Amino acid sequence: MVVFCSHVFLPLTELKSLLLRKDNDVTDLTNIMYRHADAVEKLTKVKADADKQMVGDVKQIRELSQRLADLEVAAKVVIDMVEDEGAAEKSLLEHLREAPQRLSSFLSEISRDYLAHALGLVMSFLRSANLSFIGDGVAVGCSEEKFSEYVAEMKPIADKVISGLEPASES
């Protein structure tokens, strides 16, 4: 019977040792889990905050993208107003960089056309008038105040002439 007990006692001792080691390992793992639970919780909060920030950033990107699209449309309207038909190979940025010069040229051309129209009207009524002196500026002896009065006096007439030149509105 002694033989039977020694065979059983040895495995029981090993089994107890294994169970004790298992309990220690479980305790160690539980301690590790609790030690890192705070870090996991912090990382979860950081991730949640980052997700909220990303949602806000995506919304802002969408809004800015829409504003950019609106600006591109508005810029295209201005560019089309002053640009030649055959200049489509340039980028929008290149067109915008050239726009101030083209706009200035456009305004000069339109002003020249309106002034020529107005002088043509004067000539149609006063055929004998010599208008070549107008190119030299204000007549000698005409004060700035008097010239300002003449300009103010002419504005209603200019408005009437301009309204005759403007295309009829499509209502």
Same domain, 111 and 159: yes
Question: 62 pLDDT band (50/70/90 cuts)?
Answer: very high
Stretch among 11-15, 18-22, 45-49 having the lowest mean pLDDT: 11-15
- Please indicate, yes or no, if residue 87 is contained in any of the structural domains: no
- Please indicate, yes or no, if residue 154 is contained in any of the structural domains: yes
17 lies in which domain range?
A: 9-63
- Please indicate, yes or no, if residue 24 is contained in any of the structural domains: yes
Q: Quick one: pLDDT at residue 170?
A: 52
- Please indicate, yes or no, if residue 45 is contained in any of the structural domains: yes
Separation in Å, CA 51 to CA 37, 47, 60: 21, 6, 14
Number of domains in the chain: 2
* The pair of three-digit structure tokens given for residue 3, joined into one six-digit string: 């033989």
Q: Quick one: pLDDT at residue 1?
A: 45
Report whether pLDDT(64) > 90. yes
- Please indicate, yes or no, if residue 108 is contained in any of the structural domains: yes
79 C-beta neighbours (distance < 10 Å), count: 19
**Residue 7: strand, helix, or coil:** helix
Q: Quick one: pLDDT at residue 167?
A: 64
- Please indicate, yes or no, if residue 32 is contained in any of the structural domains: yes
- Asked if 95 and 87 count as a contact pair (C-beta separation under 8 A), the reply is yes
- Please indicate, yes or no, if residue 140 is contained in any of the structural domains: yes
**Cβ partners under 8 Å of residue 166, min gap 6:** none
Report whether pLDDT(41) > 80. yes
Better-predicted residue by pLDDT, 146 or 12: 146
Same domain, 104 and 161: yes
- CB burial of 29-46 (b: ≥16 within 10 Å; e: otherwise) equals eeeeeeeeeeeeeeeeee
Q: Find, among 55, 96, 56, 50, the residue nearest to 73 by Cα.
A: 96
Better-predicted residue by pLDDT, 26 or 13: 26
Q: If you write DSSP's letter for every residue of 119-171 in order, what string do you get?
A: HHHHHHH-TT--GGGGGG-SPTT--HHHHHHHHHHHHHHHHHHHHHHSPPP--
Average pLDDT over residues 112-129: 87
Q: Find, among 82, 87, 128, the residue nearest to 107 by Cα.
A: 82
